[in-house]
Structure 1
């Protein structure tokens, strides 16, 4: 019996990647002692952790979501004692957000996951392959932002 299936194409692999990313988006993971965090929660922590303190409006812009959406995520993180908000000292309408010690622990644990991924990748790929991989990721991000 003849198999009519052809070898997977690049677009097939890309489709599988997108499906896997969607699955990951729904799956909570544990980072440090923060307990289970959804990808949107840990990426919110990551966005805050990069600067230490930023305006709530800057956080929404960095995440590419509305202020209402970031407020919902932030409230969940606040209930988990991972973030705090404070009034801006010079602008009464602005809110500053930052990480608690527990939030900083989650941030560091998330950074460690990324570091370990790249360390493993570097054992399997050469410098040129990693450079190409990073270029492809940047192109995919631009494509997905459109």
Structure 2
């Protein structure tokens, strides 16, 4: 690379390549049992609910950086397919509590198996880097995410 701008452009191209690869992975079906598969996106939602990181539609939306409408559609689809239970929340007439069904737990375990090795490989690979480089990567990812969130918010305005 000749200069800082060229290096930045190269890094952005690398990020775009990774984003396209990730989109392809997100579309891959994960076998749950003989009759059911879930997309990686669906499996991540199931994982978040099973890990109790999210237990309502608003938390699903916030967790994944999507609109409440998109989260609601995803939750409704998973409920219809038998992966989730959606029950009225005790504290609110408008909110629903989410929990996994037995089939949802099967998908949870299938996702852990499917992606568990990838996660372990990433952690092991990144562990070879000094903490300062990992911290820099984290700050860069936050910066890139902020630019993307700004672009999406501008796009969604009337």
Fold match by TM threshold 0.5: yes
Q: Which residue of 1 aligns with 2:15?
A: 14
CA contact (8 A) 2:57 2:75 kept: no
CA contact (8 A) 2:61 2:67 kept: yes
CA RMSD in angstroms comes to 3.0
TM-score for the superposition, normalised by structure 2 = 0.67
Structure 1 residue 75: Cα displacement: 1.4
CA contact (8 A) 1:28 1:36 kept: no
Gaps of 5+ in 2: 1-9, 147-158
Q: Deviations over 1:50-71 (max 9, x none)?
A: 1187122222221222221111
> After superposition, where does 1:22-37 map in structure 2 within 5 Å?
22-25=23-26, 27-33=27-33, 35-37=36-38
C-alpha separation in 1, matches of 2:14 and 2:53: 37
TM-score for the superposition, normalised by structure 1 = 0.72
Q: Which residue of 2 aligns with 1:6?
A: none
Q: Deviations over 1:55-110 (max 9, x none)?
A: 22222221222221111111111121001100112322221111111111111221
C-alpha separation in 2, matches of 1:65 and 1:128: 33
Partner SS, residue 90 of structure 1: coil
Aligned CA distance change for structure 1 residues 108 and 13 (closer, same or farther; 3 Å)? same
How many residues matched? 136
Of the structure 1 ranges 99-108 and 12-21, higher mean CA displacement relative to structure 2 is found in: 12-21
Aligned CA distance change for structure 1 residues 31 and 139 (closer, same or farther; 3 Å)? farther
Q: Which residue of 2 aligns with 1:109?
A: 110
Aligned CA distance change for structure 1 residues 129 and 32 (closer, same or farther; 3 Å)? farther
Partner SS, residue 51 of structure 2: helix
Structure 1 residue 113: Cα displacement: 2.9
C-alpha separation in 2, matches of 1:36 and 1:23: 16
Gaps of 5+ in 1: 1-8
